[in-house]
Amino acid sequence: MKIAVLTSGGVDSTVALYLLKEQGHDLTAYYLKVWNEDDTSWGDCPWQEDIDYVLQVGEQLGVPVEVLSMQKEYWARVVDYTIRTVKSGLTPNPDMMCNRLVKFGAFQEKAGHRFDRIATGHWARLAPDD
């Protein structure tokens, strides 16, 4: 099965990538860049270390890795939503919006259509084949 694996550099997505490789699937790993790391840094997020780790794991497992810029999509679909929601006096859930609108929404639009399945290491739900 041809599977896109969204990897963050964390343990969960690394294990998901490893297990799917062990099962013999045709994999491509993706690191989704969602913040403007290139222009400014608002804090101490080790994104370059994460990318380097994902690339290293991909090399060790023989899985191609693509770094995909999703910065515009993240800003338009998650950050704008968060700002609007806070301004209206509500408490937003940016992680939920990112999962739904970027990881599975915008990613599907950009690259996901080339795969039978999309896998991540978190917020997983098993969906049996019909």
Highest mean pLDDT among 11-15, 77-81, 92-96, 119-123: 11-15
Rounded to two decimals, what is the model's pTM?
A: 0.81
pLDDT tens, position by position, 78-104:
889 899 999 999 998 887 787 777 887
Radius of gyration of the chain (CA): 15
For the record, the structure tokens of 21 come out as: 């490789």
pLDDT score at 93: 86
Query: How far apart are alpha carbons 86 and 65 in whole angstroms?
Result: 36
Give the pLDDT mean for 58-81.
Answer: 92
pLDDT tens, position by position, 17-65:
999 999 999 999 999 988 765 555 555 666 788 899 999 999 999 999 9
Residue ranges of domains in the chain, CATH in brackets? 2-119 (3.40.50.620)
3-class DSSP string for 16-70: HHHHHHHCCCEEEEEEEECCCCCCCCCCCCCHHHHHHHHHHHHHHHCCCEEEEEC
pLDDT-wise least confident of 67-71, 89-93, 94-98, 112-116 = 94-98
Q: DSSP label at 98?
A: I
